[in-house]
Amino acid sequence: MPEIHPTAIVDKKAELGTGVTVGPYSIINGQVTIDADTQVGPHVVIRPFTAIGKRCRIFQFAVVGEVPQDLKFKNEETRLIIGDDNIIREFATLHRGTAGGGGLTQVGHGNLLMAYTHVAHDCRVGNHVIMSNAATLAGHITVDDYAILGGLSAIHQFCRIGAYAFIGGASAVARDVPPYCMALGNRAKIVGLNLVGLKRHGFSLADLDILKAAYELLFTSDLTLKEAMAQVRQRFPEEASVHRLVQFLETSERGLAPIDVRENRSHRGKE
């Protein structure tokens, strides 16, 4: 049975799983489902059409599933779906989707959303993503697995952040950041591979050497991007990480963040 504090308000339409706890003065409003062993702290607001997975922890003053900040929104029945094992810290805000954006905002599994982070309408956040304090996603953004967004960073609507990418603190990202890369600044530029992060996630030295070679061809050679992608595919036909990188580049609609040539030269060969 769920454990609900006497001062909390839980709508009769809400469905709470076994072991769910709801702290003092929290409000769970309307058609909400919360799966087993999730902890909802004090003063949390969870709004209709929100589904939350198992073993999540939602800290005080977070607002989850509020209507989007979109003037085109007409109170359609859109959704927010949050997976398992997520940590949502103080004052974080996560909003439902919009009809024009597919009607769904989605957060995967094992993510850490620190204090004051914002996930806007129609975003897709993958698994094991870290959003540091006050990192902000505008609408329609995709953040792939294991990406890290530094504190006070802001991502423009419709951008994509690739897997294992690192966005530096206080950066403003206006275009796509490819997998495995670091981007810094306002407007953010790509400054190299996220070598420290890749090592921490178990990429071997051989893996890193392959990614370095692919990166050099794609971003610092005199080839056009189309020519470089063809060469990279030919040189590394069986490498999944390279395939992921090239596929991201091929499917970019907003365009890629620019390359900081000086930074890439100064970091060449460094780890």
pLDDT, residue 268, reads: 52
Residue 140 annotated in active site: no
15, 33 contact by CB (below 8 A) = yes
Mean pLDDT of 13-20: 98
For the domain 3-140, what is the CATH code?
2.160.10.10
pLDDT, residue 264, reads: 77
Residue 122 annotated in active site: yes
**265, pLDDT greater than 60:** no
**267, pLDDT greater than 80:** no
Rounded to an integer, what distance in angstroms lies between the CA atom of residue 115 and that of residue 223?
Answer: 43
Pairing mode of beta strands 160-161, 148-149: unpaired
Rounded to an integer, what distance in angstroms lies between the CA atom of residue 142 and that of residue 209?
Answer: 27
**14, pLDDT greater than 70:** yes
Mean pLDDT of 221-244: 97
Angle at 61 between CA 163 and CA 26, to 5 degrees: 120
Distances (CA, A) of 7 to 2, 27, 43, 188: 15, 9, 10, 46
* Tokens linked to 200: 């921490």
Give the pLDDT band of residue 263 (cuts 50, 70, 90): confident
**59, pLDDT greater than 50:** yes
Rounded to an integer, what distance in angstroms lies between the CA atom of residue 206 and that of residue 88?
Answer: 36
4, 26 contact by CB (below 8 A) = no
Give the pLDDT band of residue 261 (cuts 50, 70, 90): confident
pLDDT, residue 262, reads: 76
Give the pLDDT band of residue 243 (cuts 50, 70, 90): very high
Mean pLDDT of 108-131: 99
3-state helix/strand/coil string of 188-248: CEEEEECHHHHHHCCCCHHHHHHHHHHHHHHHHCCCCHHHHHHHHHHHCCCCHHHHHHHHH
Give the pLDDT band of residue 253 (cuts 50, 70, 90): very high
Residue 43 annotated in active site: no
pLDDT, residue 77, reads: 97
Residue of 70, 85, 122, 145 marked catalytic: 122
Helix (H, G, I), strand (E, B) or coil at 63: strand
137, 159 contact by CB (below 8 A) = no
Same fold? 3-140, 198-266: no
Mean pLDDT of 17-43: 98
61, 91 contact by CB (below 8 A) = yes
Residue of 95, 121, 140, 156 marked catalytic: 121
pLDDT tens for residues 212-225? 999 999 999 999 99
Average pLDDT for the chain = 96
Give the pLDDT band of residue 132 (cuts 50, 70, 90): very high
DSSP state of 134: T
Rounded to an integer, what distance in angstroms lies between the CA atom of residue 67 and that of residue 77?
Answer: 10
Mean pLDDT of 101-116: 99
With a pLDDT cut of 90, the percent of the chain lying above it is: 96
Residue of 23, 53, 139, 168 marked catalytic: 139
With a pLDDT cut of 70, the percent of the chain lying above it is: 97
47, 17 contact by CB (below 8 A) = no
Q: Sheet of 39-40: strands edge to edge?
A: 3-4, 21-22, 39-40, 57-58, 87-88, 112-113, 130-131, 148-149, 166-167, 181-184, 189-193
Rounded to an integer, what distance in angstroms lies between the CA atom of residue 32 and that of residue 15?
Answer: 6
Rounded to an integer, what distance in angstroms lies between the CA atom of residue 122 and that of residue 54?
Answer: 22
Give residue limits of the domains in the chain: 3-140, 198-266
Rounded to an integer, what distance in angstroms lies between the CA atom of residue 39 and that of residue 105?
Answer: 21
Give the pLDDT band of residue 269 (cuts 50, 70, 90): very low
pLDDT tens for residues 169-215? 999 999 999 999 999 999 999 999 999 999 999 999 999 999 999 99
DSSP state of 175: S
Instruction: Look at the domain 198-266 and name its fold.
Output: Udp N-acetylglucosamine O-acyltransferase; Domain 2 (1.20.1180)
Mean pLDDT of 264-268: 57
